[in-house]
Homo-oligomer: A and B are copies of this chain.
Amino acid sequence: MVLPSRPDLEVVGAFNPGVTRHQDEVILLVRISEAPHKASSSIAAAPFYNAETRRLEIKRWPANEKGPDLSDSRLIVHQGRTWLTSISHLRIARSTDGIHFEVDGLPTFGPDSAYESFGIEDARITHLDGTYWINYTAVSDRGIATGLASTKDFKSFERHGIIFPPPNRDVAIFPEKIGGRYVALHRPMPEGLGHPAIWIATSPDLLSWGDHRLVATARPGNWDDVKIGGGAVPFKVRANRQDAWLAIYHGVTGSPPTYSLGALLLDQHDPSKVIGRSREAILRPETPYEREGFFGSVVFTCGALVEGDLVRIYYGAADGVTAVADLSLDGILSGLA
């Protein structure tokens, strides 16, 4: 049971967690999405953080044919402006076995600026130089951008601002420097010229990013033919007698869309080079809780833990719940083309 942050809100999702080990625990930073209690089906309501009053407020419209467009369960589109039907914050869940978790009763990390007025989503946690670096999606009417925070103890957090301007999400920072630079995958979202794709960037300090290069695009005729984006924090593997980086990513196909997971194998020294890619998805929405929910037919990961041949993927299902899947590393590697 995940408690709401306020009595007038209900929790509609607890999903897309970032994951790491800290001391003797497995720690998740779960995206908790909340929506206003439904007073009536004839009212559309959008929660938002007001950076001036520093409070979460709720905007309401009559839900009739003259009212906003509600065709996407996640959105309220009205007079050319877009609002979200729910607002997310991050909350810690702790476990000693990696399977049974206790979720904190209060938000750990929530909206705190005009860049986060529609919420904070999809944390990835990278343990690096003794600090846990947490990148997250900062959503507002300024766009969908990526923010960075850090902590050493998961008690106090420091914010470092926006590291990738909109439209950009699905950032995953590598857990070590490569060639003397920090490295991250990111997912810009151009339209018209260009399409959402996985890019890479490097940084001298984790705060400023440059040398942007394209890594991978959607593949026509495959399970990832509509769009793709970064997923879990990449981890090092041994493949074909050499070290390489494995990045579990999400791919989208079809309409309505199906979100599945696959893997990219990236060169050890130059991870902009793709040396392998999953022919088929390694995880697809199959169970009822993956196929039906707030936004159905979605498996989406922000993190995995690896031990020997075990790749334990923590993932969000149908934008509603958190699930875990144990995969074989050898199995993932043998499915690369």
- When C-beta atoms are compared, the residue in chain B nearest to A209 turns out to be B208
Q: How many copies does the complex hold?
A: 2
Assuming the contacts A161-B212, A188-B166, A213-B161, asked whether A139 and B207 have C-beta atoms less than 8 A apart, the reply is: no
Is B201 a contact of A204 with CB atoms below 8 Å? no
Check: A168 CB closer than 8 A to any chain B CB: yes
16 contacts across the A-B interface (CB closer than 8 A): A118-B193, A140-B193, A142-B214, A144-B193, A163-B212, A164-B165, A166-B193, A167-B188, A167-B189, A167-B191, A167-B194, A191-B191, A202-B208, A204-B204, A207-B210, A209-B210
Contacts of A194 in B (CB 8 A): 140-144, 166-167
Residue with the highest number of chain B CB atoms closer than 10 Å, among A82, A118, A162? A162
Is B167 a contact of A190 with CB atoms below 8 Å? yes
Name A190's contact: one of B144, B161, B209 (CB within 8 Å): B144
Check: A289 CB closer than 8 A to any chain B CB: no
Assuming the contacts A165-B186, A167-B191, asked whether A210 and B213 have C-beta atoms less than 8 A apart, the reply is: no
User: Interface readout for A141-174 with B: 1 if CB under 8 Å, 0 if not?
Assistant: 1111100000000000000011111111000000
In the assembled complex, the Cα of A202 lies from the Cα of B212 at a distance in Å of: 16
Check: A315 CB closer than 8 A to any chain B CB: no
Task: Please give the number of chain A residues whose Cβ is less than 8 angstroms from any Cβ of chain B in the complex.
Answer: 43
In the assembled complex, the Cα of A194 lies from the Cα of B145 at a distance in Å of: 10
Top 3 A-B pairs ranked by shortest CB distance? A143-B194, A143-B190, A208-B210
Is A193 a contact of B161 with CB atoms below 8 Å? no
Is A188 a contact of B202 with CB atoms below 8 Å? no
Contacts of A52 in B (CB 8 A): none
In the assembled complex, the Cα of A71 lies from the Cα of B140 at a distance in Å of: 33
Contacts of A162 in B (CB 8 A): 210-213
In the assembled complex, the Cα of A139 lies from the Cα of B144 at a distance in Å of: 22
